[in-house]
Amino acid sequence: MADSPADTDVLAPLALDALHRRLGARMVSFAGHAMPIQYEGIIAEHLWTRGHAGLFDVSHMGQLLLPLAADAALEAVLPGDIKGLGEGVLRYSLLMNETGGIIDDLMVTRRARDLYLVVNGATKAGDIAHLRAHGLDPQWRDDWALLALQGPEAVDVLDRLVPGVAALRFMRGGAFAWEGQDLWISRSGYTGEDGFEISVPVAAAEAFAEALLAAPEVRPIGLGARDSLRLEAGLPLYGHDLGRHTTPVMAGLAFAISKRRKVEGGFPGAEIVLRELLDGPRQKRVGLSIDGRLPAREGAMVFAGDTQVGMVTSGGFAPSVQAPIAMAYVDAAVAGDGTALSVDVRGRRLAATVVPMPFKPKHYVRKGAQP
């Protein structure tokens, strides 16, 4: 989702467009679509998701299918172990260029009959072109909507509607049904909370969303709170914290390079990336805690003394921690936790400290956890 929201009236509507408007959403442009940025307010929606369950429309993202036999070819364009991926298992991975830069971040799932990819909305057309240029022919399923139900009460709500989903664990998915409609549901999301992402046929999307919203635990949540939630969780956003000039090692995403691929290589930019794993990158993505109440936004310069050492890529006031936080790329020499820095905000130097991420603990239900 590389686009920045901007007000507009003429955009491609998504399956839930009428529902968003009935619910009083403020609609904005995002990735070529009209999407809700907020309903009752970003802070209220953020805190509701942390305490209860929030419903997000993420149908702007690209849902792509590849044949199972394409797993080896897919490994040629990303650094994950796709051939060894078990059925129903999700893997976070990265499309990469020849200099080790990130073209997009995505999720790959091996299902019974296909490989299912979810890519960012603003990059999906470019991702499809990139895959085709490398001999892959993904099918874009724009006849399916994608919803995310996130928060500590999400599992109870969804299991009442779709019995059996509570048995899923983080980064696992399965086929389910509701009212005669096929669903694909994974226990995943981008808020740091427990929750689910639900692929549902467009024809059934509004009815399914309304069934979720009928639960007292659920409220609709817009893009604004989705951004503040992912920032608190320390999760990077493509087009802001990730891009063609950031490598997985710089971004703190080395976990996306599977053990076998670290040995075998064979992915774009492997020589550069594997060397960074040994020698370290020139810059690193870090978390910043900022003194006071004034938030540092994307583009704010970061200093060590009088020397500029980096730049903020995401920032804002964090509702759950009641303080301004930011992510930035800074020179590796000043990237250690506890390092004192400063950030230029509207001509004022604000004291900042490098801190571990996430800023707010994550609450995933992992394999082996008790139901």
- Tell me the percentage of the chain whose pLDDT exceeds 90: 94
Identify the band that residue 10 occupies on the pLDDT scale cut at 50, 70 and 90: low
pLDDT in tens, 310-353: 999 999 999 999 999 999 999 999 999 999 999 999 999 999 99
42 pLDDT exceeds 80?
Answer: yes
pLDDT in tens, 78-113: 999 999 999 999 999 999 999 999 999 999 999 999
pLDDT in tens, 233-292: 999 999 999 999 999 999 999 999 999 999 999 999 999 999 999 999 999 999 999 999
> Whole-number mean pLDDT of the chain?
95
154-161 helix and 202-213 helix, angle to the nearest 10 degrees: 120
Its CATH class, for the domain covering 283-371, is mainly beta
Nearest residue to 195 via CA among 144, 149, 238, 141:
149
Nearest residue to 65 via CA among 129, 116, 112, 113:
116
Helix (H) or strand (E) holding 114: strand 114-119
pLDDT in tens, 191-247: 999 999 999 999 999 999 999 999 999 999 999 999 999 999 999 999 999 999 999
Q: Can you say whether the dihedral through the CA atoms of 29, 51, 191, 320 is positive or negative?
A: positive
223-232 helix and 42-51 helix, angle to the nearest 10 degrees: 60
Predicted pLDDT at 368: 59
130 pLDDT exceeds 80?
Answer: yes
Predicted pLDDT at 12: 86
Beta-strand relationship, 53-57 and 218-220: parallel
DSSP for 277-317, written as a single string: HHH--SEEEEEEEESSSPPPPTT-EEEETTEEEEEEEEEEE
| Span of 2-6, 101-105, 110-114, 171-175 with lowest mean pLDDT | 2-6
Helix (H) or strand (E) holding 75: helix 71-75
| Span of 81-90, 181-190, 333-342, 359-368 with lowest mean pLDDT | 359-368
Q: Higher-confidence residue: 2 or 349?
A: 349
Instruction: Enumerate the domain spans of the chain.
Output: 17-61+142-232, 283-371
Residue 101 neighbours by CB distance under 10 Å: 21
3 pLDDT exceeds 90?
Answer: no
Q: Can you say whether the dihedral through the CA atoms of 102, 107, 110, 113 is positive or negative?
A: negative
Whole-prediction pTM: 0.95
Helix (H) or strand (E) holding 276: helix 270-279
Give the three-class secondary structure for 63: strand
- Tell me the percentage of the chain whose pLDDT exceeds 70: 96
The token pair that represents 41 in the structure block: 């307010």
Its CATH class, for the domain covering 17-61+142-232, is alpha beta
The answer for 107, left when phi > 0, alpha when psi is -120 to 50, beta otherwise, is beta
Residue 58 neighbours by CB distance under 10 Å: 20
370 pLDDT exceeds 90?
Answer: no
The mean per-residue pLDDT over the stretch 147-171 comes to 98
The answer for 292, left when phi > 0, alpha when psi is -120 to 50, beta otherwise, is left
d(CA 244, CA 357) in angstroms, rounded, equals: 23
Nearest residue to 96 via CA among 247, 285, 260:
247
pLDDT in tens, 49-77: 999 999 999 999 999 999 999 999 999 99
Identify the band that residue 11 occupies on the pLDDT scale cut at 50, 70 and 90: confident
The token pair that represents 37 in the structure block: 């940025």
d(CA 30, CA 124) in angstroms, rounded, equals: 13
1 pLDDT exceeds 70?
Answer: no
